[in-house]
Amino acid sequence: MVAKIAIQASVYATALLMLARLISRYRIDSFIARVSGNKSRFWWTSGSIISFSLFAFAFSYWGDHGLGDSSRIPVGYGQYIRNGDGVFTYFYTKDNRQRQIYRFQIREDLLFAEQNDNKYLVFNFKNSQLLEFDSIQDYERFARRSDSPETNEFRDFKSHYDDYWNGWRFWCLG
């Protein structure tokens, strides 16, 4: 992680320096022209600030995607879904209670998930309300009435993780 952050910070600092030098060509008396006059100091300073910022963000709620064999997806309101070993997936509430889930879907502020023994749950992230169903039939009836995802729309943790941490989050974050 540290090596990736260092490489990213170097690339971003170089791009920032090139942008500052371009701007300073047209705005000779500007603040940007003054601070980018010493290219080496500008590059090291901006690289250090960017590096520290990326490192701090990597350990924030929205930037922490897990370390080692633990993977994590923030889902809002201080709650997250974690997969610790590639097999078992847990949903963690604000008060750090955990529930094991298998396949799930997230829509707006709601988690729709399959638990063990063919039980299902709907959890509202915003107000921490939990609704449980004892069978797939009960959940499917609820899903049809409330325009919620049906069980065939549920996906495993890895597909949600890949969707969430792909794209700009992968390239821009530590």
Which tens digit of pLDDT belongs to each residue from 98-137?
889 999 999 989 999 999 888 999 999 999 899 999 999 9
pLDDT of residue 172: 61
pLDDT given for residue 170 in this prediction: 66
Q: How confident is the model over 56-61, as a mean pLDDT?
A: 83
Is the pLDDT reported for residue 94 higher than 70? yes
Q: Is the distance from CB of 123 to CB of 113 less than 8 angstroms? A: yes
Return the pLDDT at 36. 84
Question: Is the pLDDT assigned to residue 173 strictly greater than 80?
Answer: no
Q: For 131-157, what is the mean pLDDT?
A: 95
Average pLDDT estimate for 76-101: 85
Whole-structure pTM value: 0.76
Kind plus residue range of the DSSP H or E element containing 81: strand 79-83
- In this predicted structure, what is the pLDDT of residue 155? 96
Average pLDDT over every residue of 41-46: 94
Instruction: Please state, as a whole number, how many other Cβ atoms lie within 10 Å of the Cβ of residue 65.
Output: 20
CB 52 within 8 A of CB 140: no
pLDDT higher than 90, residue 85: no
CATH of 71-164, one of 2.40.10, 3.40.50, 1.20.120, 1.10.490: 2.40.10
Q: How high is the pLDDT of residue 67?
A: 66
Position 168 scores a pLDDT of: 67
Assign 65 a pLDDT band (cuts: 50, 70, 90).
confident
Write down the pLDDT at residue 171. 65
